[in-house]
Structure 1
Amino acid sequence: MQLNFDPEVEEFRAEFAAFLGENLPDEVAAAADRPISSAEVPPWAREWQRLLFDNGWLLPGNPPEFGGRNAGILQQYVHLQELSYRRIYPSFNPQGLGIIAASLLSFGTEEQKTRWARRILRAEITAALGMSEPGAGSDLAGLRTRAVRDGDEFVVNGQKVWTSGAHDADVLLTFVRTDPDAPKHKGISVLLIPTDSPGLTRRPFASICGPHDLDFNEVFFENVRVPAENLVGPLNGGWGVANGSLGHERTLLWLSFADRLQELLEDFRPKTVLDRDSYATLAMDNQALRLLGSAALAREARGEQDVASLSVLKLLGSEAVQRAADSALYAKGIDGLDHPGMTAPFNPLNNDNMVSSWFERYVRSFAGTIAGGTSEIQRNIVAERVLGLPR
């Protein structure tokens, strides 16, 4: 068992740390304690993402032409570690970076990679993910948004919901039904749909985190015409693209949960015996998550495929963060309900309105057990693929 990294990995870390020391903008550092949002990406955030891209530090595992340097999985891990130590976001369009562009590099044509993925990675355009619908959330295969081929175009009709950042996005990676007669997993395709297409309407709505948190959207499609060249992956092969898209989201997702647990550990001040018991549980959850994650990372570095372990980590991490936020809010008492973000819009240069309240941390913790596959879905995967239980 080796509990440290080889010298070349540590050299990679040191090079990136030196880059951050020389180039980190004040605005990015100031935004460290706010929940990330893909809405209304400011110019300085685009410039920061472009700087990372141009120097190969945006997604180091990518080839240089797509913002990386062909780094291995352990180098990618320490890159994320350095970002997390400083609470730095590489992008304020996280779905565009981690899901949409990554999916296009995996499944897109060369033209789509150049026209769409590269521009998303360079922050020239932003992207959102059109998956969930009013009747198809965790069960993506139940989606009803239709796309009918008409010559060189698809005609799209239907609705999406919970589409984060759609009102500020330039393009949607949209999952549609193209064969209504096929088994529901086999009749799905994926289209890139520009948000300025006639017949496409975006309607943002607030969440419990406050009236200024307008990241969620309803998206309506009424006879929206999409060029057939915008089909991503094979026709009726969208289920494979969906699994790949969520796989990109989950690969090192456990690290973000571990970082959130660490932040809660640093900020949580136990007062009573019950508080101290909760704090100890939080510390053990944090350690267990990091050890299990390190084991999964080592397997991937050896080239071993263990998709089920990602579900274990996602389940453990998301629910541990939720329990931790609940315990911390309870320990804080009535003061924990103070929520300045409810009355003032976020200004990353105003320190008085920068730090998330305990209430906001708590309500946001529920998103982790939903996004990227719900806890219920993860338990099904663990039951079938790890424990060998019947469907």
Structure 2
Amino acid sequence: MQLSFGPEIEAFRAEFSAFLDAHLPPAETTHERISSSAYLPDWARRWQRTMFDHGWLQPGNAPEFGGRNAGIVEQFVYFEELGRRRLAQTFNPQGVGIIAASLIAFGTPEQQRKWAIPILRAEITAALGMSEPGAGSDLASLRTRAVRDGDDFVVNGQKVWTSGAHHADVMFVLVRTDPDAPKHKGISALMIPTDTPGVTRRPFPSACGENDVDFNEVFFVDARVPSGNLVGPLHGGWKVAHGSLGYERTLLWLSYAERLQEYIEDWRPITALDRDSYARLVMDNHALRLLGSQAIAAAARGEVDDGRTSVLKLLGSEAAQAIGGAALQSAGGAGLLDPTFTGYQPWHQDHYTGSWFDRYLRSFAGTIAGGTSEIQRNVIAQRALGLPRG
């Protein structure tokens, strides 16, 4: 199968490519490193603002939100072009891709003015407070409470795995506001500034070491949040959360396809066994792109298929993990300190670089974030194959 696009779509791609050629800052001006997914050095803030001002930050948005009302196929080639150049769309991905999108979809005009536009313009950064120690894949089991007290909510509880919270200016937090309702129906969404009294952020390193600190545990002790910070209806946070994660997953598979392509380009098999593994992963990448193209075509027709999206997420994340492991095994001891990857690459999509060992360790996050592989298999079984719940 040969995939191609019509002249209008290719003209869109060419316009974006010309913008990148004309405006991408030179590498010597981007020396300060990205240290978390909510930390933006001045150069990264300027670049994101330039993207916003020219309508290239989120092309599917309206112009007032940094876009140009692009359709799903145009958004596809936008991300494809970023992937080809190994460029990050933003270094605060949860802020731009999930939180601002949620505010645009569910927030009031005042909330959009106060938070969505500043996040998109890189004036502030945001973190996503969803997971808890006892509520990860089963997000509806969350226990962080928000009790109405006059014009405020009083929040108590804990979040964990909160990426970038220690650098974020504001958090989008799911809380339980009706403990007596069914667990999916008693949840609300709040915007909570991180300097609110009673909010404590504790960053901790990942398996990749002390220099890779993005995760946080966040504690709320009698934190008072104005009622005007409620996003969407009271007790209607599950719909807001589902919309947020749905946006995250729409083109998530493409990031895995681009990562696979990068790994394929960077890995040079040595033995016959290595080459066999390499060939299987090349085929996985072709399969992922073909299935993804079918999903894009369906989305352009207005069709929604959660099962298909789950297949793409499962295949992409597990293939990225497989190629990381295979490349590390092929490299042997050299894979721990491969000089090809020790230099800092400021525009790299992952914004963290390292050895094959580092890449392999980070690949495990892909099978968890956006819905674990186990959850994806359940969705595929029930919604794609029509099997009963186990």
TM-score norm. by structure 2 comes to 0.94
Moved more, 76-85 or 286-295: 76-85
Q: CA deviation at 1:330?
A: 0.5
Quick one: distance in 2 between partners of 1:128 and 1:173? 6
Q: CA deviation at 1:379?
A: 0.7
- Secondary structure at 2:148's aligned position in 1? strand
Give the AA of the match of 1:390.
P
Q: Which residues of 2 match residues 271-286 of structure 1 at below 5 A? A: 271-286=270-285
Q: Contact conserved, 1:27 with 1:44, CA < 8 A, in 2? A: no
Give the AA of the match of 2:147.
V
* 1:302 maps to 2:301: yes
Q: Contact conserved, 2:306 with 2:379, CA < 8 A, in 1? A: no
Q: Which residues of 2 match residues 87-102 of structure 1 at below 5 A? A: 87-102=86-101
* 1:137 maps to 2:136: yes
Q: CA deviation at 1:345?
A: 11
Task: Return closer, same or farther for 1:260/1:354 CA change in 2, 3 Å cut-off.
Answer: closer
For 1:25, the equivalent position in structure 2 comes to 25
Quick one: distance in 1 between partners of 2:306 and 2:388? 18
Q: CA deviation at 1:205?
A: 0.6
Q: CA deviation at 1:131?
A: 0.4
For 1:312, the equivalent position in structure 2 comes to 311
Quick one: distance in 2 between partners of 1:346 and 1:83? 18
Quick one: distance in 1 between partners of 2:68 and 2:236? 30
- Secondary structure at 1:263's aligned position in 2? helix
Quick one: distance in 1 between partners of 2:241 and 2:197? 26
For 2:199, the equivalent position in structure 1 comes to 200
Q: CA deviation at 1:3?
A: 2.7
Give the AA of the match of 1:13.
R
Give the AA of the match of 1:66.
F
Quick one: distance in 2 between partners of 1:28 and 1:70? 33
For 2:366, the equivalent position in structure 1 comes to 368
**Alignment coverage as a number of residue pairs:** 385
Q: Contact conserved, 2:165 with 2:216, CA < 8 A, in 1? A: yes
Give the AA of the match of 2:171.
L
Task: Return closer, same or farther for 1:246/1:203 CA change in 2, 3 Å cut-off.
Answer: same
* 1:4 maps to 2:4: yes
For 2:357, the equivalent position in structure 1 comes to 359
Deviations 1:141-194 (Å, cap 9, x if unpaired)?
111100000111100000001000000001100000111111111111110000
Q: Which residues of 2 match residues 1-391 of structure 1 at below 5 A? A: 3-27=3-27, 37-338=36-337, 348=346, 355-391=353-389
Q: CA deviation at 1:356?
A: 2.1
Q: CA deviation at 1:347?
A: 8.3
Give the AA of the match of 1:358.
W
* Deviating 4+ runs (over 3 angstroms): 27-31, 34-37, 344-349
Q: Contact conserved, 1:29 with 1:88, CA < 8 A, in 2? A: no
Quick one: distance in 1 between partners of 2:15 and 2:61? 17
Give the AA of the match of 1:366.
F
Task: Return closer, same or farther for 1:292/1:249 CA change in 2, 3 Å cut-off.
Answer: same
- Secondary structure at 2:48's aligned position in 1? helix
Q: CA deviation at 1:203?
A: 0.6
Question: Unmatched 5+ residue regions in structure 2?
Answer: none
Q: CA deviation at 1:27?
A: 3.9
Quick one: distance in 1 between partners of 2:56 and 2:124? 19
Identity percentage over the alignment?
69
Q: CA deviation at 1:37?
A: 3.9
Quick one: distance in 2 between partners of 1:243 and 1:290? 25
Q: Contact conserved, 1:339 with 1:359, CA < 8 A, in 2? A: no
Quick one: distance in 2 between partners of 1:93 and 1:359? 25
Quick one: distance in 1 between partners of 2:311 and 2:364? 17
- Secondary structure at 1:182's aligned position in 2? coil
Quick one: distance in 2 between partners of 1:272 and 1:345? 27
Moved more, 45-54 or 176-185: 176-185
Task: Return closer, same or farther for 1:278/1:64 CA change in 2, 3 Å cut-off.
Answer: same
Give the AA of the match of 2:37.
S
Q: Contact conserved, 1:28 with 1:88, CA < 8 A, in 2? A: no
Task: Return closer, same or farther for 1:355/1:201 CA change in 2, 3 Å cut-off.
Answer: closer
RMSD of aligned Cα (Å) = 2.3
Q: CA deviation at 1:133?
A: 0.6
Q: Contact conserved, 1:209 with 1:364, CA < 8 A, in 2? A: yes
Quick one: distance in 1 between partners of 2:369 and 2:179? 26
- Secondary structure at 1:167's aligned position in 2? coil
Give the AA of the match of 1:135.
G
Question: Unmatched 5+ residue regions in structure 1?
Answer: none
- Secondary structure at 2:166's aligned position in 1? helix
Deviations 1:86-145 (Å, cap 9, x if unpaired)?
111121101001110011111111111111111100001000000011111111011110
Q: CA deviation at 1:277?
A: 1.0
